[in-house]
């Protein structure tokens, strides 16, 4: 079964996707033993600030995304890449432990709670769907619906440790790119180009204004789609991304869950902005000590 799947995917990727050679780097990235199961706390809210997220090591278009042959950046606003009625049929084909499967399911639950997207098991009648696989290196996805079977690769264990990593890839498949590619990002972050690996400089390219729809939402350090400070670094001890508004950026690169702006954008893309009220109700009920734009919706 798994062997067969492996063959299907290997044939599928070069044939269907705009294929940039796989970067095997991610395979050597391992979270140190000390970090495994580390409790999230106020200071380190769910990620190790001294390490990039696993998807920030890949060799695709923007680290972890793959564009189909015919789709350029201009395609990102096209509604043909959306999932009709916000329904995303999927199958889990990866070789995951019970706990790893649980992480994926929790990401799905976050979408169900805060957005109008529906992730459900693929039915025989579904032509367009995605398979969650672990057979390739790294964490990566396409942007939006491609038609037919497409793949979200979540390599175990690195890509299935944090709910936010799966939530991040699912936002790609829903149709979103990275926060850092916003046309206005230079007002919010400084890229330390000297410390970005030469072969990964393309990951820091900006969109031109109008190439993506921001749905009226302002730049979001808190987004699950934001890179961490150490994304694609040459010297692993020196950041590649420096926030210009330090006080707002303490969650930068978080992979715990959604920001309020993530939720707002997903619901705007899928024409169900009223659903965002759920997040506001949760926020108001929990009365957290942080402002809404710094709060992470992780359950």
Active site residues: 169
Question: 213 near 269, Cβ under 8 Å?
Answer: yes
Distance CA 251, CA 224 (A): 9
CB of 203 to Zn ion, least distance (A): 9
> Nearer Cβ to ligand NAG, position 6 or 283?
6
Closest residue by Cα to residue 150 from 170, 177, 166: 170
In the range 52-111, which residues lie near Zn ion by CB under 5 A? 64
Residue 172 in marked binding region: yes
284 binds ligand NAG (CB under 6 A): no
107, 110, 127, 170, 262 from 114: Cα distances, Å: 11, 6, 26, 14, 10
> Nearer Cβ to Zn ion, position 142 or 264?
142
Judged by beta carbon distances under 5 to 8 A according to partner kind, the member of Zn ion, ligand NAG, none in contact with residue 2 is ligand NAG
CB of 74 to Zn ion, least distance (A): 19
Residue with tokens 């690169």: 253
In the range 44-83, which residues lie near ligand NAG by CB under 6 A? 79, 82
Q: Which residues contact 150 (CB under 8 A, 6 or more apart)?
A: 16, 128, 129, 130, 131, 142, 173
Judged by beta carbon distances under 5 to 8 A according to partner kind, the member of Zn ion, ligand NAG, none in contact with residue 74 is none
> Nearer Cβ to ligand NAG, position 174 or 231?
174
In the range 250-279, which residues lie near ligand NAG by CB under 6 A? 270-271
DSSP β-ladder status, 149-154 and 87-92:
unpaired
Judged by beta carbon distances under 5 to 8 A according to partner kind, the member of Zn ion, ligand NAG, none in contact with residue 77 is none
Q: Which residues contact 33 (CB under 8 A, 6 or more apart)?
A: none
Distance CA 48, CA 132 (A): 25
In the range 85-124, which residues lie near ligand NAG by CB under 6 A? 95, 99
9, 54, 107, 117 from 162: Cα distances, Å: 25, 10, 9, 20
Judged by beta carbon distances under 5 to 8 A according to partner kind, the member of Zn ion, ligand NAG, none in contact with residue 270 is ligand NAG
Distance CA 20, CA 73 (A): 16
Residue 226 in marked binding region: no
Q: Which residues are annotated as a binding site for Zn(2+)?
A: 168, 172, 178
Q: Which residues bind ligand NAG (CB under 6 A)?
A: 2, 79, 82, 95, 99, 270-271
Q: Which residues are annotated as a binding site?
A: 168, 172, 178
Q: Which residues bind Zn ion (CB under 5 A)?
A: 64
């Amino acid at each position: 079964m798994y062997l067969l799947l492996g063959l299907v995917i290997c044939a599928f990727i070069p044939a269907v996707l705009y294929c940039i050679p796989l970067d095997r780097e991610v395979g050597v990235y391992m979270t140190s033993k000390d970090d495994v199961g580390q409790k999230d706390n106020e200071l380190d809210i769910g990620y190790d600030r001294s390490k990039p997220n696993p998807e920030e090591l890949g060799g695709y278009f923007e680290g972890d995304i793959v564009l189909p042959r015919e789709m350029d950046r201009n395609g990102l606003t096209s509604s043909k890449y959306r999932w009709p009625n916000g329904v995303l049929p999927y199958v889990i084909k990866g070789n995951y432990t019970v706990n790893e499967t649980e992480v994926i399911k929790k990401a799905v639950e976050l979408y169900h709670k805060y957005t109008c997207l529906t992730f459900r098991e693929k039915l025989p009648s579904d032509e367009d769907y995605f398979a969650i696989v672990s057979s390739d290196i790294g964490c990566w996805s396409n942007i939006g619906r491609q038609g037919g079977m497409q793949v979200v690769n979540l390599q175990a264990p690195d890509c299935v440790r944090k709910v936010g990593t799966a939530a991040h890839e699912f936002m790609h498949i829903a149709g979103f790119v990275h926060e850092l590619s916003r046309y206005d990002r230079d007002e919010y972050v400084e890229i330390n180009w000297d410390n970005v690996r030469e072969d990964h400089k393309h990951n820091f390219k900006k969109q031109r204004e109008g190439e993506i729809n921001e749905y009226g939402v302002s730049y979001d350090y808190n987004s699950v789609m934001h890179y961490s400070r150490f994304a694609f670094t040459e010297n692993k001890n020196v950041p590649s991304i420096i926030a210009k508004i330090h006080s707002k950026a303490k969650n930068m690169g978080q992979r715990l869950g959604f920001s309020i702006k993530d939720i707002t954008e997903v619901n705007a893309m899928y024409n169900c902005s009223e659903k965002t009220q759920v997040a506001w109700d949760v926020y108001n009920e929990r009365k957290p000590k942080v402002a809404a734009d710094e709060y992470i919706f992780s359950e």
